[in-house]
Structure 1
Amino acid sequence: MIESLLVANRGEIARRIIRTAKRLGIRAIAVHSEADAGLPFVTEADEAVCVGPANPAQSYRNVEAILAAAKSTGAQAIHPGYGFLSENADFARTVEASGLIWVGPRADAITAMGDKINARNLMAAAGVPVAPGTTDPAADLDAAVAAAAEIGYPVMVKAAAGGGGMGMGVATDETALRTEYDKVRSFAERMFGDGSVLIERYFPRVRHVEVQILGLADGRVVALGERECSVQRRNQKLVEESPSPAVSPELRERFLAAAVRAGEAVGYRNAGTVECLLDPATNEFFFLEMNTRLQVEHPVTELVYGVDLVEEQLRVAAGLAPTFDPEALAPRGHAIELRINAEDPKRFLPGPGAIKTWVEPTGEGVRVDSGYIEGNTVTPFYDSLMAKLIVSGTTRAEAIERAKAAVAAFDLTGPKNNLPFFAELLGNEEFLSGDYDTGIVSRMR
């Protein structure tokens, strides 16, 4: 097993990785910005190194500073968490070229899945269902108009290099397409340094369902069930649950088989997620993207399958067998994750600030993965995620009841937060029925 691990991230995910590392007897090393010096992940690590000022480009995305920290602390491996450098193939290559262990998929898999058009084409060739769309970037507006006319409106205009719900727009006709194409292309050039645009069929009523995969050290790819991620605002997830209330046993088999094919198509190793769109009217699903990293919502899979995905990542990176029998994987119970963000619960606009009160809920089936404690300050420099409230039960109904009680018991004051929204959602008839889609939040507002 790896003996020393540098966590190239911050907040709740850094704290969560450190927790598993220390349980396994691995020396945990944190890197942090000047703004994060007082956060729990820094104090809980065995060693911590400041890698720069608050600006992520000068700290958490500063490859030279992170590698220097690894060298000075004698780290054997680097875990990137999610976000920042986690899906940067050049960083993965640099880590390995430096003689360190990269806790993630191979760089060529990250590259292959990082471009949405290339990923779509690879998946189609592997027999994974993809939505009607372009097989090459729409080089200009005329090409986009022609593609949309062939695909049929409405269409989704996507940044080919985008991810995490960023760089997308919907066009219901040619006039809207002309506006969205320029908007998405400009955004993609600014954010990703790549203005390539994909045109794809848009489904007005759709569910977002993803499958957790794990590429093992022996070359096998296994699927650890699906997660429902349809409660979203601005294409960003707020709630995830597993199993999905929309997925029957027969549909689950198809989902998992497709996800395994997707992983095998790129020789996938370590943890990853195959994201899909599900048309609830027809039970057809289509490949959306593959996230070549650990997902924010991985805890719901951990609770339903009884595994520690960070431990499994470390074992794969070390060339070890998993702790579980891949042939005997079976879900048990139900889990729901609520993302507790520092944001207005109505308009979902960021609301950072000093935390005056922070008392986490406890009890059977309640888990909190948090990045903050009382007295910390949520700064405006990073994502607004403060904690993940994860609840589990033997049934979905029991998990929901535990979620209601946990939300009510979470005592949080100071920054704006979305706990009131979750209290509303957990009483919403559409959510309670399980028959909801990605438009549920907009209908609540």
Structure 2
Amino acid sequence: MKQELERVILVGCQLHDDDERFEYSMDELASLTETAQGEVLVRLSQKRDRIHPATYIGKGKVEELVALEEELEPDLIVFNDELSPSQIRNLSSQLEARIIDRTQLILDIFAQRAQTKEGKLQVELAQLNYLLPRLVGQGTALSRLGGGIGTRGPGETKLESDRRHIRRKIDEIKRQLKTVVSHRERYRERRKRNHVYQIAIVGYTNAGKSTLFNRLTEAGIYEENQLFATLDPTTRQYTMPSGLTALLTDTVGFIQDLPTTLVAAFRSTLEEVTEADFILHVVDSGNPDYHNHEQTVHKLLAELDVEDIPMLTVYNKRDVKHELFVPTTPASVLISAFNKEDLALLGTKIQDEMKKEMEYFHLFIPSDEGKLLAELKTVALVDSLKFNEEKEKYECRGYIAKEHPIYKQLRMIEES
């Protein structure tokens, strides 16, 4: 049975003269609303020097909103910025429909998308931290047991209890998360010990990361033209053109003005990026705001302190690229994730970038070292391997990470 869409009015306040950026953020709010199963009836916006401290928008606009609500009878009114507890309280006293802000909307989508135990705990923690100071402002709204956008996740019965109960719940979730995170850390340490090359895919939400991930690894994870289609990090094996086996991790999408509660809560999810040997930054070349998306991702990566990790920018969706699109970095490649030749080109490009960080070798390996030769293909970038009749040895050229245990073995062969 198809889920009935909730009827929604969007409200935004433009503080700067950048009309295009404001329009884009309202478009994004509309996309977020659709992703959360809402139908946008109308958008209401106002230009102001600053947000109204009591009601977000000015008195006249609030009256306009009240009239619109009477006419359209929406289920929900979504505001494009984070509202303070007093703003929610003041607006609720004049409006009938439920009121939520951009942060709650994003949290709601995350609640729908979370699959793993860690993902669910992270969302619940972020929602409870967000709701704690707003319990007074939303008293009546939270006691309705209806559900709907902005109320999914922890469940209303918990939220209508007192603050002490919520604080206890937050402490309990943090304790559970510690256990889950330590499991993840042990798993990561094991991967490090095994010296497997790790590549993390990052990018703005809906840039095509999961599609690319699926095409490279045939993983079959959820991919959809929606914001935040992926929430939990997924790791799969990826075999490069040379034969080297790497681990590829798909991560949660970045978004501008990501709620602060979420940045903190999802740090452990994004830690996959901090452990990577290489980063693939996927950008939607068909999006008119692609440059801002790039900046948002770079800013968040800087916060994660991963600027030293080698990175390749993958401009995706070249078949629908924007007419004004111009690559902003030379370390980039323009592809379509649905094109096999493009994926092969991407694999080669990744290898070229990896070689810059690796050590070159040119060796003659004895023919009885079959195990070493087989292993070399999966742990090093082998450019050529052929049998040399004269020396009765295999001549091998390629690149390997200095940290890999086999590197020492190769050096010993070279010196013998």
Which structure has the greater CA radius of gyration?
2
Q: Which has the higher helix share?
A: 2
The TM-score range, normalised by the shorter chain, is: 0.3 to 0.5
Tell me the TM-score normalized by structure 2: 0.35
In proportion to residue count, which structure has more strand?
Answer: 1
Q: Which has the higher contact order (CA 8 A, sep 6+)?
A: 1
Q: TM-score, normalised by structure 1?
A: 0.33
